[in-house]
Amino acid sequence: MTRLQFRVLYQQFLFRTVDLELLSASAQGDSVKLLGQLAALLAFLSLMIAMVGIAVGGGKLPTAQRLAMSWGMEHFLLSTTMLVVGLFAVLSWESMFPDRRDVLVLAPLPIHAATLFLAKVAAVATTLSLTVAAFHGFAGLIWPLVLHPPDSGWLGVIRSFAGYWITMLSAGTFVLCCLLCVQGLAALLPRQQFLRASSMLQLAAFCLLLGVYFLQPSMLTPEALTAPQNQWQLAWLPSYWFLGLFQILNGSPHSALNPLAWRAIVGLAIAVFGAGVAFVLSYLRTLRKIIEQPDITPGARGGPWLPRFGNSPITALVQFNIRTLVRSRQHRLILSFFWGLAFTVVILYIKTPLVQKTLLNAASTNPWRQVNAPLLVCSIVMMWFAVIGTRVVFAMPTELRANWIFRVTNLNSLSDYLKSVRRSLFSLAVVPVWMIWATVLLWLWPWQQAARHLIVLGLLGTILVEFCLHGFHKLPFTCSYLPGKANVYYLFFGYVTLAVPLLNRAAVLERDSLLSSYLYTLVLFALSIGAIGARWRTMTLAQSEGTELRFEELEAPAILQLGLYRD
């Protein structure tokens, strides 16, 4: 009986790994599709990395270059594995430990806590293994061949394979266990405080993972790894520890990396032990607490005041959108992902040699204090990510079955509803970014130039908002969501990759225009025409015949299938 219980629970926990609340009720059946998409994305990345391995492996490199290349690649693979596993753990935060639903459903059943515990641990371990396997499916076949020590023969290749997979799994396990430890410690708090802390911790973990991945310094030479001034940084960068471990397992240890390898082993042991303790405490202590304590503490005061945004229905909708975004953990997390990406793109852009050269060549002693293209690009990139991110979050529903109230009170025209979405996008994306940049630019630049760019930024924000409203004939958070639509995001990232270099050119043009009234008038005129045109296009589409507010992403088919098939 216990074995059967374990199997059933294991299957349930495994398929609930991803937070399915993000999906609509009608799309929940597509959880397998969503997981398949994620696996396919990871496998695609793996294939790309494997192809680089084939290209590099075929070439003959001098020893020093080969060492730099192999350390660089190993470090990239390790830190990316840690990032992928970390992000997966953050996204499946709720399903790592038993939640209220688990307890309410399973507690009345005659199931031992140990069975529950083991099923949960097995599901988490499987998730980790599958994530690592999907990401290294192709790369893990090619790179061990490239990275094995020269002249080590077949035994060396086999050792390289084993070392590769053990290190990648260990690195993933380390990140996962660290996050489990943090969550387990937080679970010792009273339930309500845990829920509050949980969303903050999730966000902090998310920022930490992205920040470390993109901003960690490169120390991939024996000199950099042994330099005394770098030792304290290395002590806090686990990707370097596992680089050392890989070199030892691979059969090519280096004196500079050996202390790091030991750090990896000790760190992994502590993390696994900590996660184990967190799980045991959770099952011994938290299970009862979940039932005894309500999820949310009753409040005694009113909610925060929000201004009016137009007539009553528009105000209701904008306030609903703001409250939902502020209070929904899942939506906040996805939006913070976009903000995180914006900061990452901005930092990476500033670190490019081209920008560094531009800043060095600046006439002033402090290049940021004069009108410069990099700062213009940064503000536009942040506006872009904030608006698109908010639009993506708007498409994801919350409490989908509660949308009946909007259907029953659907008393206004589509253009009124569009107004509410437009004002929501402005309130949640355009205005915050604009205000941040107003503060920065008015502090750094002469006010005339700063004001001129702020007008341009506002117009760009308006154009972006109208672009996002194109075909968006639904209310934020109320329409069902289909995972397949995520293809749009891949396209979006493609656009960003292409757009940033183009943006640099445009920013140079704008920088020149900020110093010339004639050119600035032309730029302003072009942008105003763009904004008016985009607005006209959105409104025309909304007013066209047959266009109505949608609550289902998938339209009802015009022709029904009877499903009569011959076997």
Partner 1 sequence: MLELRNVRKSFRGIVAVENVSFLARAGEVTGYLGPNGSGKSTTMKMITGLIEMTSGTILFEGEPIHRDLIAYKQRMGYVPEEPHLYAHLSGLEYLVMVGQLRNLPSTPTAERIDGLLRLLSLHGDRHVPISAYSKGMRQKVLLIAALLHNPELILLDEPFSGLDVSSALVLRSLIQELAARGKVVLFSSHELETVERVCSRIVILHHGRVVADDSIERLRTLMKLPTLEKIFSQLAVEQDTAMISREIADLIQA
**Which parts of this chain interact with partner 1 (CB under 8 A)?**
294-303, 311-313, 315-317, 319-320, 323-324, 327-328, 398-399, 401-402, 404-412, 560, 562
Of 360 and 562, which CB lies nearer to partner 1 in the complex structure?
A: 562
Q: Could you tell me if residue 122 is left (phi over 0), alpha (psi between -120 and 50 degrees) or otherwise beta?
A: alpha
From CA 433, how far away is CA 449, in angstroms rounded? 18
CB of 402 to partner 1, least distance (A): 4
From CA 261, how far away is CA 259, in angstroms rounded? 5
Q: How many residues are present in the chain?
A: 567
Of 385 and 477, which CB lies nearer to partner 1 in the complex structure?
A: 477
CB of 477 to partner 1, least distance (A): 9
Of 297 and 439, which CB lies nearer to partner 1 in the complex structure?
A: 297
Of 512 and 552, which CB lies nearer to partner 1 in the complex structure?
A: 552
From CA 305, how far away is CA 474, in angstroms rounded? 26
From CA 75, how far away is CA 241, in angstroms rounded? 10
Of 363 and 411, which CB lies nearer to partner 1 in the complex structure?
A: 411
* Phi (first) and psi of residue 149, to 5 degrees: -60, 140
CB of 84 to partner 1, least distance (A): 30
Strand-pair partners of 550: 474
CB of 317 to partner 1, least distance (A): 8
CB of 545 to partner 1, least distance (A): 17
Tokens of 352: 């490019």
CB of 80 to partner 1, least distance (A): 35
A 10 A CB-CB count for 394 gives 26
Of 112 and 308, which CB lies nearer to partner 1 in the complex structure?
A: 308
Helices H, strands E: what count in the chain? 24, 0
CB of 394 to partner 1, least distance (A): 15
CB of 548 to partner 1, least distance (A): 11
Residue-by-residue DSSP string for 274-295:
HHHHHHHHIIIIIHHHHHHS-S
Of 21 and 512, which CB lies nearer to partner 1 in the complex structure?
A: 21
Residue-by-residue DSSP string for 282-343:
IIIIIHHHHHHS-SSPPP-SPPPP----SSHHHHHHHHHHHHHHHH-HHHHHHHHHHHHHHH
Of 406 and 472, which CB lies nearer to partner 1 in the complex structure?
A: 406
Do residues 470 and 541 make contact, with C-beta atoms less than 8 angstroms apart? Answer: yes
Angle 205-209-210 from CA coordinates, rounded to 5° = 120
Tokens of 440: 């920065």
Of 299 and 353, which CB lies nearer to partner 1 in the complex structure?
A: 299
Do residues 415 and 489 make contact, with C-beta atoms less than 8 angstroms apart? Answer: no
A 10 A CB-CB count for 77 gives 27
CB of 410 to partner 1, least distance (A): 7
Nearest to 104 by CA among 265, 251, 285, 288: 288
Do residues 400 and 438 make contact, with C-beta atoms less than 8 angstroms apart? Answer: no
* Phi (first) and psi of residue 380, to 5 degrees: -70, -40
CB of 115 to partner 1, least distance (A): 25
From CA 471, how far away is CA 402, in angstroms rounded? 23
Of 300 and 363, which CB lies nearer to partner 1 in the complex structure?
A: 300
CB of 130 to partner 1, least distance (A): 32
Of 222 and 310, which CB lies nearer to partner 1 in the complex structure?
A: 310
From CA 313, how far away is CA 385, in angstroms rounded? 28
CB of 249 to partner 1, least distance (A): 48
Of 406 and 492, which CB lies nearer to partner 1 in the complex structure?
A: 406
Do residues 428 and 53 make contact, with C-beta atoms less than 8 angstroms apart? Answer: no
Nearest to 167 by CA among 90, 88, 240, 70: 240
From CA 385, how far away is CA 496, in angstroms rounded? 9
